[in-house]
Amino acid sequence: TDVCIPEEKAVRELETHLMDAWKHASMNSIRNLPHQYFFEALQSESLMNNCDGDRQSSWVYAAFELDLPIFVPGWEDSTMGNIFAARSLEGQINSDCVLSGI
């Protein structure tokens, strides 16, 4: 699915917001499931103002609106999971801030 998402316009924009959340969680010993950080990013006015897509077409946004938990086995192998792993290996964030699905 990620092959259709423009990296600079979408992925890097989302990464900025997720990094803020991951850094805050790392500094404050907060641990959340991956979807909770995405939901936090979706509350960002600046992110939502920079989105071109239709929110009503997004299943993640629909889950956010209903506050439905999302369990995604293998999240670590997604684009954002790989970015999270890289930033963790670089020491920018603590890998413990994201809970596994187990």
Residue 15 belongs to a domain:
yes
Residue 16 belongs to a domain:
yes
Residue 60 belongs to a domain:
yes
Residue 33 belongs to a domain:
yes
State residue 64's pLDDT score. Answer: 93
State residue 1's pLDDT score. Answer: 46
Instruction: Kindly give the parts of the chain with pLDDT less than 50.
Output: 1-2
| Residue 48 identity (one-letter amino acid) | M
State residue 22's pLDDT score. Answer: 97
- Domain total for the chain? 1
The domain of 81 spans 2-97
Residue 30: which residues within 8 A CB-CB, separation 6 or more? 24, 97
Residue 102 belongs to a domain:
no
Residue 21: which residues within 8 A CB-CB, separation 6 or more? 37, 40, 41
Residue 75 belongs to a domain:
yes
State residue 6's pLDDT score. Answer: 66
Residue 45 belongs to a domain:
yes
State residue 90's pLDDT score. Answer: 97
